Structure 1
Amino acid sequence: MSESSRDGAQSWTESMSARDRIRAVAETLREPRSVNWISEQADAAWSTTNEELQDLVDQGQLRRVEAGKTTRYQPDYTRLLFEEIRTLIEENTREELRNELAAITEEIEEWQATYNVETWEELEQSLADGDLTSAELRDRRDVIAFWRENEEDRRLIKHALELYSDVEAAREQMTDVADRATS
């Protein structure tokens, strides 16, 4: 028995199949990457990685990008955006989304008042102030990261709210069609 198994923790090569690891790496890509790079990160054979990446392209989850003589892969960011919006709509009521939007806005307003800035970019510029302690620098860096995340969440929630009625109407139409087909 390996030491990691005795401790109750498993490495991801023990807990996930090679194909699952490849998918996990591919789904988190921030820039186009080669089969070799993905294979190395996923700790999987090149042939398995190449085959899995082709399957992901065929399924529309990845896009193939030609970079000179090298083929690279990246997520389909448009699809990911719509999947995130769909998940927000499916897992939250309109009221929950409105409440989250209000909470995010309130938090940003508190940061604006606390640091006397309008944007996270202005707060980032304040890091160059020579009179900040290391603790104040760490605090501001943390706030900048949360602020940026909040802005992304706010953007997604706004999109979800804008599309909420359309998604509800589409759902109702699908239910009506399914009901007619079973009647």
Structure 2
Amino acid sequence: MSESSRDGIESWTESMSARERIRSVAETLQEPRSINWISDQADAAWSTTNEELQELVTQGQLRRVEAGETTLYQPDYTRLLFDEIRTLIEENTREELRDELAAITDEIETWQNTYEVETWEELEQSLADSDLSSVEIRERRDVIAFWQENEADRRLIKHALKLYSDVEAAREQLTNVADRARS
């Protein structure tokens, strides 16, 4: 038994299949990567990685990118965007989305007032101020990271709210078609 298993913690090679690890690596890519790189990161055989990546491309979850003589893979960012919006709509009411949008806006406004800036970029520029202590610099860096996340979340929530009625109508239409088919 490995040391990590004795401590009650499984490594991901013990807790996930090779295909699950490959999918996990592929779905979180920030830039196009080769089969070799993905195989190495997933601790999986090259042939298994190749098969799984081809399946992910067929399913529309990954895209192939040709870089000279090398084939690279990256997530289909458009699909990921719409999947995130769909999840927001399916898991939240309109009111919950509105409340979250208001909370995000409140938090950003608090940072704007606290640091006397309008954007996270301006706050980032303030890191060069020579009179800031290391604690203040770390605090501002943390705020910048949260601010960027909030802006990304705010964009997604706004998209979800804009599409909410359309998704509800499509879902209702699908339910009606299914009900007619059963009758």
Q: TM-score w.r.t. structure 1 length?
A: 0.99
Match of 2:34 in 1: 34
Report deviation, 1:2.
1.7
Q: For 2:109 and 2:168, how far apart are their aligned partners in 1?
A: 32
CA drift at 1:6: 1.0
Q: Which runs of 5+ in 2 are unaligned?
A: none
Residue type of the alignment partner of 2:70: T
Aligned CA-pair RMSD:
0.4
Matched, 1:72 2:83: no
State the partner residue of 2:22.
Answer: 22
Partner of 1:150: 150
Work out the CA distance in 2 between the residues paired with 1:19 and 1:179.
37
The residue aligned with 1:99 is 99
> Equivalents in 1 of 2:14, 2:69: separation in Å?
35
What residue in structure 2 maps to residue 9 of structure 1? 9
| Secondary structure in 1 matching 2:60 | coil
Opposite residue 57 of structure 2, the aligned amino acid is V
Q: For 1:20-169, list aligned pairs within 5 A.
A: 20-169=20-169
Query: For the residues of structure 1 that align with 2:171 and 2:38, how far apart are their CA atoms?
Result: 37
Distance 1:4 1:123 in 2: 42
**Misfit runs of 4+, over 3 Å:** none
Query: Partners in 2 of 1:2 and 1:124 — Cα distance?
Result: 44
Q: Report Cα offsets for 1:25-78 as digits up to 9, x if no partner.
A: 000000000000000000001111011000000110000000000000000000
CA distance in 1, matches of 2:55, 2:97: 35
Shift of 1:5: 1.1
1:152: how far off?
A: 0.2
Alignment partners' CA distance in 1, 2:32 and 2:2 = 35
C-alpha separation in 2, matches of 1:114 and 1:28? 34
- The DSSP-based 3-state class of the residue aligned with 1:102 is helix
- Which one-letter code corresponds to 1:97 in the other structure? L
- TM-score normalized by the length of structure 2: 0.99
